[in-house]
Amino acid sequence: QVQLVESGGGLVQAGGSLRLSCAASGRTFSGYSMGWFRQAPGKEREFVAAVTWSGGSTWHTDSVKGRFTISRDTVKNMVYLQMNSLKPEDTAVYYCAAKRGLMVVSTTAYEYWGQGTQVTVSS
């Protein structure tokens, strides 16, 4: 049974940094893509970044390019999202997700989801 467990969220001032972690277990993730998504109150869940498990290729949405970096550790079975220069508009619940195959931005394509971790950025 696949489990994704996020951690590392919290309250931070604008301009600050946080590193989110996602512990992945329950299967071998070779051939999978791992993604980070976020959902702000009253808004739809949106793609933030993704990484391929095997090759480490990455994709970041335009609004976080240069500020956020996704990475994975295939030995520890962890996925990370380093978030720098945080803005109040980054406030959301952040979710880790996994899917077989290529990285995509669609939430419906991802098979497995974590429970989410809250990130709040104060101005």
What residue type is assigned to position 100 of the chain? R
- pLDDT the model gives residue 49: 98
Amino acid identity for residue 111 in this structure: E
* Sheet of 68-73, strand order: 3-7, 18-25, 78-83, 68-73
The CB density around residue 110, as the number of other CB atoms within 10 Å, is 23
Beta bridge partners of 50: 35, 59
| Confidence at residue 14, expressed as pLDDT on a 0 to 100 scale | 98
Place of tokens 């290729």: 57
pLDDT 10s digit of each residue in the chain, 123 long? 999 999 999 999 999 999 999 999 999 999 999 999 999 999 999 999 999 999 999 999 999 999 999 999 999 999 999 999 999 999 999 999 999 999 999 999 999 999 999 999 999
